[in-house]
């Protein structure tokens, strides 16, 4: 089945009965994006209409032709904007897509708010990587991941990747060439003219996440040429004034994505299994909990201004990690004892995938970690009385 058959590709110039135009909601280099209504179903869609007269070269025409093909190739995923229909006429090409409303792009949020918190960045990172991993499983490389191409559904903070116009399909083990992308976010191997694969998207995601935390990209210049030179140098820095409140694990995660050596750079799947699940949450009990998941194991660190709480580390009996609908119970073991000399006491646990032996000891402390859109909620309680500062 071709992509036109999959989408109900329509070459009929008279499409007024099928969709009714409501209002313009965006404008791009090749055309406009409007909200449209489908009377037959009662649904609203976003319609990107491209004026074919504005396509001045073969590359532009290839991008416009590729976008609906790549979007149709991908099965449904909650973190990717879905294509619904395609209408091709002599003068225009109209792509009818899922309407994300109300929505803003990551870029809009950066402009209005400046930066994102680490916990919010972690939540969005997981969703971006899940969408990207889905693309890569189907051989689709986006090649233009940037804040403008990542939408946030304001109803539920769901992230959706959009605009596949610069994308390409690669078979297993295949690579491509060509300078495609946006200066701040393009990977160095693209600029150097090397063959490259899906990991160019991971560099771009890393730069996006850095920008969300810092408010500005890691490689800067006054002109495109200066930006490219900075990207090629790849001198990744974390200015203390900017990253004072960002955990070392988050910075290490960014280093593994913004890595000049593509062979050592994370893939989307590796990032999801590693520090993409890095979380930081500050509870009312003045507790900071950091978690890193690697496969079926996790390391957990609890630091608190409450020394009494940290002295309770030997009373920890079990962790319940809830990820979506799957409940994984794991048994903690003490990895590093609490340091008595440290200003901020720290409790470190190495968590294995061995099922725990749940105990009903009345003085033991139980921690439940709930992963909900990558927001970590920590419940510290005792069966008898709670730990007090």
Q: How does DSSP classify residue 176?
A: B
Class of domain 3-98 as given by CATH? alpha beta
Beta strands in the chain (DSSP E): 20-27, 31-38, 43-51, 83-88, 92-98, 103-105, 140-141, 150-153, 158-161, 168-169, 279-282, 287-294, 297-304, 316-323, 326-336, 346-352, 365-372, 375-382
Virtual torsion, Cα 118, 123, 126, 132, nearest 10 deg: -100
How high is the pLDDT of residue 367? 39
What is the maximum span of the chain, computed from C-alpha positions, in angstroms? 77
Percent of the chain with pLDDT over 70: 66
How high is the pLDDT of residue 17? 75
Q: How confident is the model at residue 368 (pLDDT cuts 50, 70, 90)?
A: very low
Nearest to 66 by CA among 151, 148, 170: 170
Nearest to 291 by CA among 259, 253, 254, 240: 253
Q: What is the mean pLDDT of residues 12-18?
A: 62
How high is the pLDDT of residue 254? 95
Which two structure tokens, joined as six digits, stand for 115?
């930066």
The two counts, helices (H) then strands (E), for the chain are 11, 18
Count of residues making up the chain: 389
Q: What is the mean pLDDT of residues 323-341?
A: 36
Does position 322 have pLDDT exceeding 90, yes or no? no
Which two structure tokens, joined as six digits, stand for 376?
């970590």
CB atoms within 10 A of CB 10: 17
Rounded CA-CA distance 287/30 in Å is 51
Nearest to 122 by CA among 253, 270, 32, 299: 253
Q: Which residues 6+ apart lie within 8 Å of 270 measured at CB? A: none
Q: What digits encode the pLDDT tens for the residues 234-247?
A: 999 999 999 998 98
157: left (phi over 0), alpha (psi -120 to 50) or beta: left
Rounded CA-CA distance 298/351 in Å is 5
Classified as helix, coil or strand, 39 is: coil
Q: Which residues 6+ apart lie within 8 Å of 387 measured at CB? A: 285, 306, 308, 309, 312, 365, 380
Where are the domains positioned within the chain? Answer: 3-98, 103-276, 281-382
Does position 116 have pLDDT exceeding 90, yes or no? yes
Which is the CATH superfamily of the domain at 103-276? Answer: Transferase(Phosphotransferase) domain 1 (1.10.510.10)
In contact, 353 and 299? CB cutoff 8 Å = no
Rounded CA-CA distance 276/99 in Å is 28
Q: What digits encode the pLDDT tens for the residues 250-282?
A: 899 999 999 999 999 999 999 987 643 444 333
Which two structure tokens, joined as six digits, stand for 297?
């194991």
Q: Do domains 3-98 and 103-276 have the same CATH topology?
A: no
Rounded CA-CA distance 100/84 in Å is 13
Q: What is the mean pLDDT of residues 161-166?
A: 93
Does position 103 have pLDDT exceeding 70, yes or no? yes
Q: How confident is the model at residue 72 (pLDDT cuts 50, 70, 90)?
A: very high
Q: How does DSSP classify residue 277?
A: G
Expressed in angstroms, the distance from the first to the final Cα of the chain is: 65
Candidate ranges 53-62, 86-95, 362-371; pick with highest mean pLDDT: 86-95
Nearest to 215 by CA among 199, 239, 233, 188: 239
Between 317 and 213, the higher pLDDT residue: 213
Between 318 and 142, the higher pLDDT residue: 142
Does position 107 have pLDDT exceeding 50, yes or no? yes
Rounded CA-CA distance 219/208 in Å is 11
Does position 55 have pLDDT exceeding 90, yes or no? no
Compute the mean pLDDT over every residue in the chain, rounded to the nearest whole number: 74
Query: Is position 18 annotated in a ligand binding site?
Result: no
Rounded CA-CA distance 387/287 in Å is 12
Q: How confident is the model at residue 2 (pLDDT cuts 50, 70, 90)?
A: very low
Q: What is the CA radius of gyration of the chain?
A: 24
β-sheet bridge partners, residue 254:
none
Between 316 and 83, the higher pLDDT residue: 83
In contact, 188 and 234? CB cutoff 8 Å = yes
**Residues forming the active site:** 144
Q: Report the range of poorest mean pLDDT among 86-90, 227-231, 298-302.
A: 298-302
In contact, 37 and 44? CB cutoff 8 Å = yes
Between 102 and 209, the higher pLDDT residue: 209
């Amino acid at each position: 089945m071709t992509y036109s058959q999959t989408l109900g590709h329509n070459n009929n110039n008279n499409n007024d009965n099928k969709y009714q135009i409501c209002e313009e909601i965006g404008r791009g280099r090749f055309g406009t994006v409007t909200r449209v209504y489908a009377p037959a179903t009662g649904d609203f869609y976003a319609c990107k209409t491209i004026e074919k007269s504005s396509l001045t070269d073969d590359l532009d025409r290839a991008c416009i032709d590729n976008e609906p093909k790549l979007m149709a190739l991908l099965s449904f995923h909650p973190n990717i904007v879905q294509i619904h229909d395609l209408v091709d006429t002599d003068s225009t090409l109209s792509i009818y897509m899922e309407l994300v409303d109300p929505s803003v792009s990551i870029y809009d949020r950066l402009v209005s708010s400046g930066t994102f918190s680490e916990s919010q960045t972690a939540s969005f990172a997981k969703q971006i990587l899940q969408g990207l991993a889905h693309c890569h499983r189907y051989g689709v490389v986006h090649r233009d991941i940037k804040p403008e191409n990542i939408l946030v559904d304001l109803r539920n903070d769901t992230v959706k990747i959009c605009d596949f116009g610069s994308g390409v399909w690669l078979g297993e083990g295949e690579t491509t060439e060509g300078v495609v992308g946006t200066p701040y976010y393009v990977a160095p191997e693209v600029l150097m003219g090397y063959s490259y694969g899906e990991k160019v998207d991971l560099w771009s995601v890393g730069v996006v996440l850095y920008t969300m935390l810092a408010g500005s990209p890691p490689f800067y210049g006054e002109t495109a040429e200066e930006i490219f030179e900075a990207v090629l140098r790849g001198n990744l820095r974390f200015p203390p004034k900017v990253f004072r409140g960002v955990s070392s694990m988050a910075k290490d995660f960014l280093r593994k994505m913004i890595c000049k050596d593509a062979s050592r750079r994370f893939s989307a799947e590796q990032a999801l299994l590693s520090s993409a699940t890095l979380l930081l949450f500050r509870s009312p009990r003045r507790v900071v909990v950091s978690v890193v998941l690697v496969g079926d194991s996790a390391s957990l660190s609890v630091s608190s201004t409450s020394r009494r709480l940290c002295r309770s580390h030997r009373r920890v009996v079990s962790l319940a990690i809830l990820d979506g609908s799957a409940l994984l119970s794991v048994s903690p073991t003490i990895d590093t004892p609490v340091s008595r000399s440290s200003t901020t006491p720290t409790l470190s646990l190495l968590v294995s995938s061995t099922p725990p032996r749940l105990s009903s000891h009345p003085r033991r402390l139980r921690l439940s970690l709930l992963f909900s859109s990558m927001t970590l909620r920590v419940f510290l309680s005792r069966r008898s009385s709670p730990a007090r500062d």
